[in-house]
Amino acid sequence: MIRPSAGRRPADSTTTSLVVVRALNLAEQLLTRRHGATVTLADPEDLGGSGRSVVLRARVAENPFGLPRSLVIKHYQRDATSGRGDRFRHEAASCQLFTALSGGSTSPELIAHDPANRLLVLEDLGRSSTLADKLFGTDAAAAERCLLAWSRALGRLHAVTAGREHDFDALLRRLGERSWRDPMADDARAALASVPELVAAQLGVTVSPAAALEAHATARLLGGTRYRAFSPSDTCPDNNLVTSRGVRFVDFEWGCFRDVVLDAAYTRMPFPGCESSFALPAGMPEAMLAAWRSEVVVVWPDLDEPIRLTTRLLDAQLLWVWLCTLQLLPKGLAENALIGRDPARSPRALLALTHYWAGLATDAAAARRPATAELAESMLAALRGRLGDGPAELPLFPAFRARVRG
């Protein structure tokens, strides 16, 4: 699902200063209760957060217990629930799971949490760059290294959490939250039901019964397959920190257990659930997939079989393309509408959607799914007819553009 990036609050806002001070005080009280002696925090730095939460970095001024020099504090506001569940409880359970299983090797370590005040105290990963910083920078080699590191980290996260779904459910229940499903699932099923009518009305494209059948068959990925592991779900470039110890995932408000190929399909259509969804250079998707696969085959050796993996990846790709069509087509038909709000980091919605269908046309034809390939070609013709005189191809991420020009 297309999720907007969290907007930063103004640093001089009165509201911001009040919520920062409250979060700092609550964290001091939590750490003091936990250790039995006073812990004092100082120099809070507002890291942005969102309307749902405040996130800040603080220095540990009085530290009698060997705490790190600084900590990150995330304080959820009282409106952090949604129809899909309580985001604080979900992130707390996610951080508990990762800290127990991998010692924080894939995410920040959880130092303490306070369910009553909806507060998390986390390891501070420092002033690390994000994957987005690398992709929107000027160093193509650095961007490549980070994409491969992200792919390996994603595979490692899948491998270390495989078979731990019941543990995650138990952590959620202990926090008072019933287990929730993949937040993509309901939206994906809605797309399978409504995309044929949508594209017929808006583009004059007819979805054949055979193409609809192939699409509906992908819904099996939304159920209890044998390839389930934890997914951050919101793995947008801004939510991946590039540290000296590799890529670390942050922000698990949308996390869930689901079929791992729904994440692996990001190598074929980069970051489809995010505002930043530009193209990758030739060869990069294959290299990323190989990096991810090298980690998960330890748990699922059969995913090293090319036909099995390619078939499942195409199912995930097809499901993502239908979901993105439901979410982006109405927006894209508005002139020059962007996926997000930032022109520098958000492509035109219609151009991104055209890129997704172009990739699906190629991959479906190679996999001998003629109905899907035929639908994709029809969608491409209709979408390109709506692009007008603007660019016909989705640009590469900025980091790779200078190399192409050279």
Residue 15 has pLDDT above 50, yes or no: no
Assess contact for 176 and 89: CB atoms under 8 A. yes
Residue 389 has pLDDT above 80, yes or no: no
Q: Which fold has domain 14-124?
A: Phosphorylase Kinase; domain 1 (3.30.200)
Say what the pLDDT of residue 9 is.
Answer: 40
Q: What is the CATH number of domain 130-405?
A: 3.90.1200
Hey, is 364 helix, strand or coil? Answer: helix
% of the chain surpassing 70 pLDDT: 91
Question: Region 228-256: what's the mean pLDDT?
Answer: 91
Rounded Cα distance between 357 and 359, Å, is 5
pTM metric for this prediction: 0.91
> Which two structure tokens, joined as six digits, stand for 387?
């692009």
- Residue 3 confidence class, pLDDT cut points 50, 70, 90: very low
Give 132-164 pLDDT, tens digit per residue: 999 999 999 999 999 999 999 999 999 999 999
Main-chain dihedrals φ then ψ at residue 156, nearest 5 degrees: -65, -40
Assess contact for 367 and 310: CB atoms under 8 A. yes
Question: Region 183-204: what's the mean pLDDT?
Answer: 96
Q: Got the DSSP string for 248-307? A: EE---TT-EEEETHHHHGGGTSS-TTBS---B--TTHHHHHHHHHHHHHTTT-GGGGSHH
Give 257-291 pLDDT, tens digit per residue: 999 999 999 999 999 878 889 999 999 999 999 99
Main-chain dihedrals φ then ψ at residue 39, nearest 5 degrees: -115, 130
Segment of 96-100, 167-171, 209-213 carrying the highest mean pLDDT: 209-213
Rounded Cα distance between 351 and 354, Å, is 5
Say what the pLDDT of residue 335 is.
Answer: 81
Rounded Cα distance between 376 and 314, Å, is 13
Give 44-81 pLDDT, tens digit per residue: 998 876 678 899 999 999 876 778 899 999 999 865 45
Burial grade of 24 (CB within 10 A; 0-12, 13-18, 19 or more): buried
Question: Region 380-394: what's the mean pLDDT?
Answer: 89
For the chain, domain boundaries: 14-124, 130-405
Say what the pLDDT of residue 240 is.
Answer: 94
Segment of 105-114, 352-361, 388-397 carrying the highest mean pLDDT: 352-361
- Residue 6 confidence class, pLDDT cut points 50, 70, 90: very low
Q: How far is CA 77 from CA 20, 23, 36, 87, 100, in A?
A: 12, 10, 27, 10, 26
